[in-house]
Amino acid sequence: MDIVIYQLTAVWLSFFMRYNENITDETFVYETTTSSSLYKNVTIPDPVYPVSDPNGPWLLDDNFSDEFNNCSLDSNKWYNEVTSWGLWTWKQENVVTNHANLILKMEYEVHSRINFNGDVLDPLYYTSGIIQSKEPAGKKYGYFEAKIKASEKYPGVCPAFWLYRKEGGLANKNPTHWTEIDIVELTQNINYGENAIGLNIHAFNHPDLSEEIHEGFEWHAPWKPDDDFHVYGMEWSEDWIVWYVDGIERKRRANEVWDQELDLVLSLGLRNPLKNEPSSVGFPAHFEVDYIRVWDKIN
| Residue 185 known to be catalytic | yes
Report in angstroms how near the CB of residue 196 gets to Ca ion at its nearest: 26
Nearer to Ca ion by C-beta: 33 or 69? Answer: 69
- Least Å distance between CB 44 and Ca ion? 9
Active site residue 238: no
Q: How far is the CB of 146 from Ca ion (least distance, A)?
A: 10
Question: Pattern 129-148, binding to Ca ion, x per CB under 5 A?
Answer: --------------------
> How many other C-beta atoms can be found within 10 angstroms of the C-beta atom of residue 77?
18
CA dist., res. 179 & res. 199, Å (int): 15
Among candidate residues 67, 185, 226, 288, the one labeled active-site is 185
CB of 210 to Ca ion, least distance (A): 43
* Touching Ca ion, residues 45-104 (CB under 5 A): 67-69
Q: How far is the CB of 291 from Ca ion (least distance, A)?
A: 5
Annotation marks residue 180 as catalytic: yes
In the stretch 270-299, what mask flags binding to Ca ion with x, by CB under 5 A? --------------------xx--------
Nearer CB in complex with Ca ion: 78/178: 78
3-state secondary structure the chain: CHHHHHHHHHHHHHHHHHHCCCCCHHHCCCCCCCHHHCCCCCCCCCCCCCCCCCCCCEEECCCCCECCCCCCCCCCCEECCCCCCCCEEECHHHEEECCCCEEEEEEEEEEEEECCCCCEEEEEEEEECEEEECCCCCECCEEEEEEEECCCCCCCEEEEEEEEEECCCCCCCCCCCEEEEEEEEECCCCCCCCCEEEEEEEEEECCCCCCCEEECCEEECCCCCCCCCEEEEEEECCCEEEEEECCEEEEEEECCCCCCCEEEEEEEEECCCCCCCCCCCCCCEEEEEEEEEEEEECC
For Ca ion, the closer CB: 10 or 106? 10
Candidate list 66, 67, 107, 182, residue with the active-site label: 182
CA distance 278 to 280: 7
Contact set for Ca ion, span 5-44 (CB under 5 A) = 41
Q: What residue number has its CB nearest to Ca ion?
A: 290
Catalytic residue among 66, 145, 180, 226: 180
| Binding to Ca ion in span 159-198, by CB under 5 A | none
Give, as ranges, the residues between 230 and 259 that touch Ca ion (CB under 5 A). none
C-beta of 63 vs 189, nearer to Ca ion: 63
**Which residue lies nearer to Ca ion by CB, 69 or 195?**
69
- Catalytic residue numbers, as ranges: 180, 182, 185
Q: Which residues are near Ca ion by CB under 5 A? A: 41, 67-69, 290-291
